[in-house]
Amino acid sequence: MKFLAVVFCSIVALFAHGANIEVCPSCEIKSLRDALKVSQPFDVINIKSGVYIDHAIELTMPLTLIGEKGSVLDGGDQGEILTLHADSIIIKGLTFRNVGLSYTKDWAGISSDRVKGCRIENNTFEKTFFGIYLRKSEDCVVSGNYMDGEAEQEMTSGNGIHFWYCKNMLVENNQVLRHRDGIYFEFVKHSIVKNNLSKNNVRYGLHFMFSDNDDYLNNTFEDNGSGVAVMYSNFIKMNNNRFIENWGPSSYGLLLKEIKDGEIKGNEFYRNTTAVFGEGAMRMDISENVFTYNGWAIKLLSSCMENTVTHNDFISNSFSVFTNASRSYNSFDENFWSEYSGYDLDKDGIGDIPHLPVSLFTFIVEKCEPALLLMRSNFIGLLEIAEKAAPAITPEALVDNKPRMKPLWQ
């Protein structure tokens, strides 16, 4: 039976491979639209170098589109370029350009509606408003694409990669620059975002809304309005990412809002205004991360409970931790704090006295922001000396009872 199944699948695969259709300015078939008129399911359309000005092209059968170097589909600023209405469509090697701006429609270089198994690989998107917008689709791969939206303002820009009501999606090895949100998930389940660069986006590098059981791994989020926002989502793994230079008056490396049972592990947070900000975050495992040269390393509001912060390195941050809670509902243990000045008499690598990461000056700044002008002043130096001499004046909302004497991850 297994042998017969293999033979059957081989025969199906053989007949599923269609004809090759060539498109070029000097060919008999001069445009993609003309090629679609003569194509059959599973045909391969090879698009040669040239600029093809067209928009509102609909793919209604399984096809493979392969672009030669220099092949450009130009929307002429008139609207969406390609819309997928069939399963198993493959698009490779094309440049999508000049979709145009709409305040009423989400025009994209490529969009889909209720498709399965699409593959969008190694394409370039330039000035496409939305780059790739997939709706109610599943089992699709978006890989190796370069996307530059040239966005300057949030109201006049779209997202680079936008998924709505999708599942089992893979987004990998893409470069997404200068959009509103680099990558946006809304109602997306069981999907993976890995090995992407999301940079210089107006709002967020990556934005999750109402999406559960997703992973984002080994990505770099650099110089965005904010790095990543995860909102109203559960069971999200956020591991081995880099959050770099997300800097501004209200910028975060990672914003957590109403999120439960997630994992933040092995990440690097470098020079963010606030590396991690939590509101309504519960049962999060925040471990094995490195926080370096951030304004605030972690802010957890009083609505955050049962979170575990352990085995992290906090190095040269202006403020390590802040909470507005009067008592601790989260555990901080066995972290390294560069400002810790305790001792280790038994040489076990753990400080012999607890560390209070929330300083008095942190509370002063939260109550009166202009007090930041006093940072690094002699007055703050005296305040720190007073805290060491009289620890009772230091807020005890959070405490690390087992502070590490040396960094764990450097």
Q: What is the pTM of this model?
A: 0.89
Contact (Cβ atoms closer than 8 angstroms) between residue 364 and residue 387: no
> What tokens were used for 106?
């989400």
384 in any annotated domain: yes
- Provide the pLDDT confidence category of residue 374 given band limits of 50, 70 and 90: low
277 in any annotated domain: yes
CATH code (residue 226): 2.160.20.10
26 in any annotated domain: no
Task: Give CA torsion, residues 378, 384, 386, 388, to 10 deg.
Answer: -150
260 in any annotated domain: yes
262 in any annotated domain: yes
pLDDT in tens, 240-260: 999 999 987 778 999 999 999
What integer pLDDT is reported at residue 11 of this predicted model? 45
% pLDDT > 70, the chain: 86
Is pLDDT larger for residue 45 or for residue 17?
45
Q: Please tell me the total count of domains within the chain.
A: 1
Domain that holds residue 170: 48-393
What integer pLDDT is reported at residue 398 of this predicted model? 83
Length of the chain: 410
- Provide the pLDDT confidence category of residue 41 given band limits of 50, 70 and 90: very high
- Provide the pLDDT confidence category of residue 16 given band limits of 50, 70 and 90: low
Contact (Cβ atoms closer than 8 angstroms) between residue 54 and residue 85: no
Least confident of 93-97, 121-125, 188-192, 358-362: 358-362
92 in any annotated domain: yes
> Strand runs (DSSP E) across 136-251, as ranges?
141-143, 146-148, 161-164, 170-172, 175-177, 181-186, 192-194, 197-199, 204-209, 215-217, 220-222, 226-231, 237-239, 242-244
What gap in Å lies between CA 303 and CA 195, rounded to an integer? Answer: 32
410 in any annotated domain: no
What integer pLDDT is reported at residue 371 of this predicted model? 57
> What tokens were used for 100?
């145009």
- Provide the pLDDT confidence category of residue 169 given band limits of 50, 70 and 90: very high
Q: Is a pLDDT exceeding 80 seen at residue 59?
A: yes
Average pLDDT of the residues in 106-113: 96
30 in any annotated domain: no
Q: Is a pLDDT exceeding 80 seen at residue 356?
A: yes
- Provide the pLDDT confidence category of residue 14 given band limits of 50, 70 and 90: very low
- Provide the pLDDT confidence category of residue 396 given band limits of 50, 70 and 90: low
Contact (Cβ atoms closer than 8 angstroms) between residue 398 and residue 356: yes
- Mean pLDDT over the full length of the chain: 90
What integer pLDDT is reported at residue 248 of this predicted model? 78
